[in-house]
Structure 1
């Protein structure tokens, strides 16, 4: 049971302003200076992009941990508990550590304005990484890159996973503008790896890397993957050729994410003699990232995937079509109001016989009635169940053992679903 102190500090954080991307980095820098600049005590890998940031980050953290390093991992959002955002050697920090880091950050002067939620939590993460004396921290941007509060670090490697239109209010209306924001994590002389495919995005990244004298490694040019079936692939890299590789994460797109992981691992090997190929291969295969094509039951087949933007929804739709053909699929979906929900719904429900629309508790969730009206021409059977936990229970209870249930559309929906499934797991048929 959470302590009153833990509950109070989370309530205080959630009451903070949500975004601060246009406000600059000085507030975060001021807080960290007051904490003794803990971000200067560890080596870091910085990751930006539209999709795949968490998958790449978790894999690199797992690999470094398997190689014997003490590793911090900072990601967002969390699925069930805030503590998941800040991990040390694969474990979320304790409730007491949340309270202690909250109090430490609150005690220092932050400058001319109050910090946003993300600025505050970023400072908490770096404080914890310093306190635990991590060797490496793998840090995912919250949004964008150039003005993201994580961009106060001096990383050893920067990674930009891919680019698509997102957060246009904050990042810009075009791929070129959005790429410019994400490329803001590129630092002078620091190697950068990217999996971007659009010509305009690559042109922007190449220009920034050239301006910063940062060595640039592009997937498809400097390193490649070749799929060989059963989830395995060969990696032709910067310095090595590694056949028989496999990601611990499901989905064809995870091979592309794994390519970025392996390219980063090659660069790490140049500076970390203790990092070996066997550790890299084992860490990649052992990596797990909850809520991303996560199978939690076989009968019925229940799968969780955030699919919180258009690119992710298309990938999930293809996965369902390719891997669950012949099953009656029920989609349980809720989407946030700042997303292109009409296009997302179209991709999500294409392979489905039934849709249950629901709504996460976060205030940015779209009303189920809005989703229902859009989806009515797309799927024959639609129902509204406002509460996520109730929607999940109903979907499973009304599915046959050979059917499939997919819960998607928002990481907040997946988080609430996962919490419910963790409570009522005895009712399922787990793997």
Structure 2
């Protein structure tokens, strides 16, 4: 399937529509769809919505990307990861229907997910946009039940545009006439674009700071909208940015009139989002190990805020990034919180940034940075210098996947 198109990413919907037609239009037979776009927080917000709906007894299909360890993580059928036999059968049917025509890996696997969702019983379908929104392979649902736009920031500029306004315009491409949209915390420029697009297509918006609010009071999460106030536990997922993600999930459940808001914030597990590793060879060293897959400037700011809130402890980073990312923008907010950094290349990632380039970029931000051949070597080097250190492994979901596969 990787050989069916010369590009990994080629944003258009023509090929997806062609294959879905050949499959009998499964996208028209899905359980009620909640479509989630945005730059940061899509996966966490979707996980919270899913937890809230499942706690109410509903069956939920869910599609997300990328996977961390196994492709099966991308597709949940009625709440469970897709079985190997079911995945093989769906992919074979899509490959046969495609007939060797050009189509990207993400497009044909998205069609396989939609086919599986259409044929398995559930009450809801959660679709996370892969890239952008307007021309993403998931944007083939004519009338979802709800859309969600999480915070928009600079990322994937080579595909979505160089400015915040251009990127927001691509994300707002999921808006549909008459379909309500939950809008998360946004920069003014992004919110203006989303609101203008919503006015053009006739999509009612429920905007953070205007129609709903979320805050902390006395160690609790307080959510408020026109329907009233909710006093809830703090999110299970760590970081101040998860407060906004929880707010979007609760707003979505309130708009749907379904789901358990408390379960939405306390129930989900979402690996590699400021995840504390507690098992495996990395933790046997006595270090305090955290894992996060964030990779853009906004993610760097969120991680910096988490580190600032943790109890004081010497902190180092192990960082590997892709060559398409703004490494300086990611590391800049982290620099004041790091005693040092070990740069690694991401194994098996063709687009990895070489470790020496990552180290040089870190030094340019004032971080004491060196190279290492692997995560294990990097950790040993850090602990030889600072026994019992706090170590943040960061920079890419692909690196996080390697760590979860090989070290846990």
Which TM-score applies when normalising by structure 1?
A: 0.87
The 1:313–1:351 alpha-carbon spacing in structure 2 relative to 1, beyond 3 Å, is same
1:110: how far off?
Answer: 6.8
Report 1:263-412 matches (<5 A).
Answer: 263-269=251-257, 275=258, 279-297=260-278, 299-325=286-312, 327-360=313-346, 361-376=348-363, 378=365, 381-388=368-375, 390-392=377-379, 395=382, 400-401=387-388, 403-412=389-398
1:108 aligns with 2:118: no
Check conservation: 2:76, 2:82, Cα contact below 8 A. yes
Q: Which whole-Å CA distance do the structure 1 matches of 2:371 and 2:4 have between them?
A: 30
Check conservation: 1:359, 1:388, Cα contact below 8 A. no
Counterpart residue number, 2:32: 43
The 1:268–1:228 alpha-carbon spacing in structure 2 relative to 1, beyond 3 Å, is same
From 220, 229, 247, the equivalent of 1:259 is 247
Spell out, residue by residue over 1:325-381, the C-alpha distance to the aligned partner (whole angstroms, 9 max, x if none): 2x1112010111111112222233431112111011211110111111222355564
1:228: how far off?
Answer: 1.6
Q: Which whole-Å CA distance do the structure 2 matches of 1:140 and 1:395 have between them?
A: 37
Check conservation: 1:122, 1:150, Cα contact below 8 A. yes
1:398: how far off?
Answer: 6.7
Q: Which whole-Å CA distance do the structure 1 matches of 2:204 and 2:380 have between them?
A: 51
From 151, 164, 174, the equivalent of 2:139 is 151
Structure 2 gap ranges (5+): none
SS of the aligned residue for 1:376 comes to helix
Structure 1 gap ranges (5+): 1-11, 270-274, 423-431
1:202: how far off?
Answer: 1.7
Count how many residue pairs are aligned between Structure 1 and Structure 2. Answer: 398
1:396: how far off?
Answer: 6.2
Counterpart residue number, 2:129: 141
Check conservation: 2:321, 2:396, Cα contact below 8 A. yes
SS of the aligned residue for 2:121 comes to coil
1:84 aligns with 2:58: no
SS of the aligned residue for 1:145 comes to coil
The 1:134–1:392 alpha-carbon spacing in structure 2 relative to 1, beyond 3 Å, is farther
Spell out, residue by residue over 1:225-281, the C-alpha distance to the aligned partner (whole angstroms, 9 max, x if none): 121243x21110242311134322110110111111111001110xxxxx35xx221
Counterpart residue number, 1:8: none
The 1:329–1:105 alpha-carbon spacing in structure 2 relative to 1, beyond 3 Å, is same
Q: Which whole-Å CA distance do the structure 2 matches of 1:393 and 1:126 have between them?
A: 44
From 187, 211, 214, the equivalent of 2:176 is 187
SS of the aligned residue for 1:241 comes to strand
Q: Which whole-Å CA distance do the structure 2 matches of 1:90 and 1:389 have between them?
A: 34
Counterpart residue number, 2:10: 20
Counterpart residue number, 1:428: none
Q: Which whole-Å CA distance do the structure 2 matches of 1:392 and 1:107 have between them?
A: 47
Check conservation: 1:31, 1:110, Cα contact below 8 A. no
Counterpart residue number, 1:125: 113
The 1:398–1:135 alpha-carbon spacing in structure 2 relative to 1, beyond 3 Å, is farther
Report 1:173-252 matches (<5 A).
Answer: 173-230=162-219, 232-252=220-240
Check conservation: 1:63, 1:283, Cα contact below 8 A. yes
Q: Which whole-Å CA distance do the structure 2 matches of 1:190 and 1:286 have between them?
A: 27
1:94: how far off?
Answer: 1.9
SS of the aligned residue for 1:73 comes to strand
SS of the aligned residue for 1:149 comes to coil
Which TM-score applies when normalising by structure 2?
A: 0.92
